[in-house]
Amino acid sequence: MKSGVRPLTPELEEVARKTINEVPDRRDEDLLKIKEWLEKQTHIKARTDDQFLIIFLRACKFSLERTKEKIDTYYAMRSALPEFFTNRDPLLPELQAVMDTACQFGLSDIPEGGPLWFWRLSNYDPKTTRIEDIIKVMFMMEETILLEEDSALVCGQHIFIDLAGVTMAHMLQFSPVVLKKFLQVWQVGYPTRPQQIHIVNIPSFFETLLNFVRSMLKEKLRKRLFFHTNIDSLKNEGLKAVLPEEYGGKSKSIKELGAIWKAKVESYRDYYLEDEKYGVDESKRPGRPKTTSELFGTEGSFRHLQLD
């Protein structure tokens, strides 16, 4: 049977072999084993096309057991968070409004390899935009990158977050409960390979929130998180070179990039409409069902974070 996986470039194939244990001659066999496993999981209704499943194998460096666990957790978390993962029609007015702000989108691969993810939170108005919709669009764009950009899994992704111009109203949207759920999905549930995370222009009132975020990150990611006073103090010249032109980079303007990514997400409308039917039915899970508390932690533990 011919593989439905998009061929890697020779350069990426060599990187994949060295860094994520991808062996082209064994790839179809690995995909078949995951499909056979999914057929036996009566509680999971999952996509089974090769290009989708290879994302999870690459994220888990071709460990079959880790891949199975990741797929299960991915769908369990999605089903537990309808506020993030339902009603994902990109033509919905609230999602159109988020994409029109151009507060987040993907950029080209940096020289170290892998695409750069860009956030500028001050682009959206917290008085008119729900944080749940910002996160919803972020995960939609993330899925689009994973489906289109092989380097995102082979080399990993880099993240650039600019907090210039953010207000207390922005910060107050990020309640500890919302942050905990978002970070758990991003770290544990999604098939991503984040590399360096750079945050610039941090207001003093945002520092408590960022310290909370740091405390929620796995140790490996904490070591990859870097705070910068401003763009000049970021010394990664390769990363800076692919930033939007407003930052002196070689990419298009923020407005143009936002429009490009809006059109890209819209082109996946059928994918996101169909995606509503996938998930888990915890009543059918063998053994004990996974609870929201088990997936995301006890919410009450995060209610007393002081943000003033």
- 4: Cα separation from own chain's centroid: 23
CATH architecture of structural domain 1-80: Orthogonal Bundle (1.10)
pLDDT of residue 46: 98
Q: How far is CA 163 from CA 142, 154, 169, 270, in A?
A: 20, 29, 13, 34
Taking the CB of residue 219, how many other CB atoms lie within 10 A of it? Answer: 6
Q: Which pTM was predicted?
A: 0.93
Could you state, in chain order, the average pLDDT of each consecutive group of 10 residues for the chain (308 residues)? 84 96 96 98 97 97 98 96 97 98 95 93 96 97 94 95 96 92 94 94 93 92 94 92 96 97 98 97 93 74 43
What are the φ and ψ backbone dihedral angles of 95, each rounded to 5 degrees? -80, -35
pLDDT of residue 294: 87
Distance from the first to the final alpha carbon of the chain: 60
pLDDT of residue 89: 98
Residue position matching structure tokens 């310290």: 211
Rounded Cα–Cα distance for residues 236 and 152 (Å): 19
User: Do 145 and 115 touch, CB atoms closer than 8 A?
Assistant: yes
User: Do 139 and 146 touch, CB atoms closer than 8 A?
Assistant: no
Six token digits for residue 101:
């702000």
User: Options 3.40.525.10, 3.50.50.60, 3.40.140.10, 3.90.1170.40; which CATH number does 87-266 get?
Assistant: 3.40.525.10
Domain extents for the chain? 1-80, 87-266
Residue position matching structure tokens 């407003």: 246
Three-state secondary-structure class, residue 277? helix
Rounded Cα–Cα distance for residues 50 and 52 (Å): 5
User: Do 50 and 38 touch, CB atoms closer than 8 A?
Assistant: no
Q: Where are the alpha helices (DSSP H) in 185-251?
A: 207-216, 219-222, 237-241
Per-position DSSP letters for 141-191, written without gaps between them: HHHHHHHH-THHHHT-EEEEEE-TT--HHHHHHS-HHHHHHHHHIIIIIS-
Rounded Cα–Cα distance for residues 78 and 75 (Å): 5
User: DSSP letter at 129?
Assistant: S
Closest listed residue to residue 172, CA positions, set 210, 204, 126, 133: 126
User: Do 19 and 25 touch, CB atoms closer than 8 A?
Assistant: no
Q: How far is CA 28 from CA 3, 60, 109, 153, in A?
A: 6, 16, 27, 18
Rounded Cα–Cα distance for residues 10 and 160 (Å): 28
pLDDT of residue 93: 98
Rounded Cα–Cα distance for residues 56 and 63 (Å): 10
User: Do 124 and 132 touch, CB atoms closer than 8 A?
Assistant: no
